[in-house]
Structures are given as structure tokens and as C-alpha cells.
Amino acid sequence: MTIEATGTQGGIGKRGWMDAAALAGVLTVLRVAVLAVLAAANGKPLGEQLVAWDAQHYLRIASEGYAQEESFAFFPAFPLLLRVLGGSAAAGIALNVVLTVVMTAGVMALAQRRGARPLHRASAPRGDYPGRPRRRHQAGRAGG
């Protein structure tokens, strides 16, 4: 299975990447909206909440490495990419958005491999749908 933009068999194609980006964008807006509501309920600014919890550990690991024992619980790929991008909170947010698109594309490719229609075709009206009775093709069948 590949998630290439070339549209080869097993890939999601260029349209699939656009669908993944759109879906990831909607999901990111939803996540940030929920976080904004929680931030407001706690009387804290949204920006402070975006770099709370695990984000603090990832930013510290990106700048200082695994200097503290509690840092060992965090996988090194994200902090390494974050360090390459400069190690700022803005770089972390941008990296998170890009990786959300990649993850969404991967899930879409897996779903298509399991038989799901591509997102841009799933909403198109068609004559088939889950639970629709299927006609059996009787022509050419030998009687028994």
C-alpha cells in the first residue's frame, strides 16, 4: 500500500490528498474550537493552551534533548522534526497540522484498501448503498 500522489494502484491520488487536507483542516478547526471553549472556561488564553500539556515536553526536548528522566516517555520523531524546524511553538503547531494531513491520508488509504470509496466519491449519489439488496446474475447459469 502506498499513499503516493501519483494515483497509482493502492495510492489515494492527488484528489485523495486534497480530500485529506480538507478533512484534516475541518478536524483541526474543530479541535482548536473545543480547546478555545475549554480555555475560556478555565479563564486562560487559547495560545497558552496550545502549548500546554505534552507540548511543553516536546518543546523542551527539541531545545535541550532528553535531559530530564520524564522526557524519556516521549517518542523522539516529533521533537527531532521540531528541532529541525527551529523548535518554536509556531513550528510545532505547523508541524502538527502537516502531520495531521499525512495521518488523515494514511487512514483514507487504509480505508480504501478495505473497500471504502474515496471521500470525493462517497458523497456522490449512486444507486448502491450499504444494505441495498443485490440482484443475482442468473444468466448463463446451468440448471441443476
Q: Looking at residue 59, what is its pLDDT?
A: 85
Q: Over 50: is that where the pLDDT of 74 sits?
A: yes
Mean pLDDT value across residues 24-39? 92
Mean pLDDT value across residues 120-129? 55
CA of residue 76 relative to chain centroid, distance:
19
Burial call 61-97: b when 16+ CB within 10 Å, e when fewer: bbeeeeeeeebeeeeeebbebbbeeebeeebbbebbe
Q: Looking at residue 8, what is its pLDDT?
A: 45
CA of residue 49 relative to chain centroid, distance:
21
At 43, list the grid cell.
479563564
Q: Looking at residue 48, what is its pLDDT?
A: 85
Burial call 2-14: b when 16+ CB within 10 Å, e when fewer: ebeeeeeeebbbe
Q: Looking at residue 109, what is its pLDDT?
A: 87
pLDDT per residue over 56-68, tens digit each? 888 888 888 888 7
Give this prediction's pTM.
0.64
